[in-house]
Chains A and B, each alone.
Chain A
Amino acid sequence: MAPLRYPGIESAARAVLSALDVQFSDLKDVSCCPAPGVFRSFDQQTWLAISARNLALAEVQNADIITICNGCFASLFEVAYILNNDREKLDEINAILADIDLEYNCTTNVKHFADILFKDIGVKKIADSVNYPYKNLKIAVHYGCHFLKPSNVKNIDDPERPMILDKLVEAVGATSVDYMDKNRCCGAGGGVRARAKEVALKMTADKLENIEKAGANCIVDICPFCHLQFDMGAMELGKTNIPVVNLAQLYGLAFGIDKSKLGLDIQAVPIKLDKG
């Protein structure tokens, strides 16, 4: 989703990770994660096998995987979890991967961009990298569903009262505002946007209304599919006063990274934030 629809998110994430001294390289030859809402719904064995191929490609390089998308995170992390814990399933999937001379041995760690920022880098180092603070900015954070849930599998933060993303946006000096049903879904997932856009949009409208009531200047998310739902949804609903900003784009602005890399103007609702 990010590389082909919101490349500014990919480009911003690369620049932010570099600014924070995280070493990374492209995992070559991978395919779609594949998207959990649709492909797990169509055929779970295919979902497992295609995702296991991606995990195995990282394993060959002895590398961890960083994802900048909750959907990719859901597929890669949960498939790794299933295969780690179900020997029979692992054997079945490896029998499929044998067709392409590949085997998965359950050693790949999958991490979400936001989790790396919070746990491996830390809010302090991020705050120290901020050259242009946003003191007056009121941010409505949107975690998205698959960063934290299912929490028995992900075990990252409290799924009902999380704080990671709130702390991460406050590192730029901004305030994270509370709003009604803050942890609710954007509406896009599970193949609903593709199958029943009007239903997805009703859920988005709920979120946008609650965010507006809380007086937020922007939404900050960590998932390009939620991003698309808020950005295109704002236009489809005719409610374009609150832009949606990916965490990497927010950090790009606050660190002072070249704006042309951040894709601020290649959204339906361009990103314009006032510094305080």
Chain B
Amino acid sequence: MELRIDMTDEVEVVEKKAKLVNPEFVEEVIKAGAVSVNLCWQCGTCTASCPSGLHTAFRVRKLIRRVQLGFMDEVLPADDMWMCTTCYTCHERCPRDVKIPEIIFTLRNMAVKMGYMAETHKKAATLLVKTGHTIPLDDKAKALRKKVGLIETPLTTLSNSEALEEVQKILRHTGFDKIVGA
């Protein structure tokens, strides 16, 4: 009996995947400020230290490798990097001084610019644009403040519209309102 294996499909899949690699991605990440990304030699201390990785599929080491290799389309749209609590344990323990949270912040900024942003995060961003804070001053908060002997409205942008306008000017200058669609 003749054993024949058709390899055409597999070759096509590999070729398709290879086309997704963007060799310039790592340079873009470095230019955006994450200068330490190529110092990583893949020891895995970060993954072993990650409290989020204990409960999710998020693997810090793999994230860094994907960036080094240019797998932009596997990194930026994915949930993975948003599972990082920025606890800095990996930063503390990395034997190569890779500033991992800095890299994650940079990648998240890129993702947000491309429109990948959770609805709950958009909500927090919108509150900053509208009030200068991320938590609303509602009647409940006012009542609680009064109960413990504090003035109901803190002396922040919440009580001075000119101060709030200053914050909003800054947000317009950086384009934050547009970035987050607020």
CA distance A181 to B54 in the complex (A): 13
Interface band, chain A: 35 or more
- Asked whether A185 and B157 contact (CB < 8 A) given A149-B91, A190-B85, A195-B121, the answer is no
Say yes or no: A96 contacts B148, CB within 8 Å.
Answer: no
Q: Give which listed residue, A5, A11, A146, contacts B141 with CB less than 8 A.
A: A5
Say yes or no: B170 contacts A149, CB within 8 Å.
Answer: no
Encoded as 1 (CB less than 8 Å from any A CB) or 0, chain B from 145 to 164 comes to: 10111100011110010111
Which stretch, A23-31, A113-121, A165-173, touches the partner chain B? A23-31
A112 close to chain B: CB less than 8 A: no
Say yes or no: B134 contacts A35, CB within 8 Å.
Answer: yes
Task: Give the number of residue pairs across the A-B interface with Cβ within 8 Å.
Answer: 213
Chain A min CB distance to B50 (Å):
10
CA distance A259 to B84 in the complex (A): 38
Say yes or no: B179 contacts A96, CB within 8 Å.
Answer: no
Encoded as 1 (CB less than 8 Å from any B CB) or 0, chain A from 98 to 127 comes to: 011010000000000000000000000000
Say yes or no: B156 contacts A30, CB within 8 Å.
Answer: yes
Binding site for B on A (CB under 8 A): 1, 3-5, 7-8, 10-11, 26, 28-32, 34-46, 49-50, 53, 96-97, 99-100, 102, 145-146, 149-151, 159-160, 181, 183-185, 187-192, 194-196, 199-200, 202-203, 206, 260-263, 266
A–B Cβ pairs within 8 angstroms, 15 of them: A4-B145, A29-B155, A29-B156, A31-B156, A31-B157, A32-B133, A40-B105, A41-B109, A42-B112, A99-B173, A145-B88, A192-B83, A195-B121, A196-B83, A266-B147
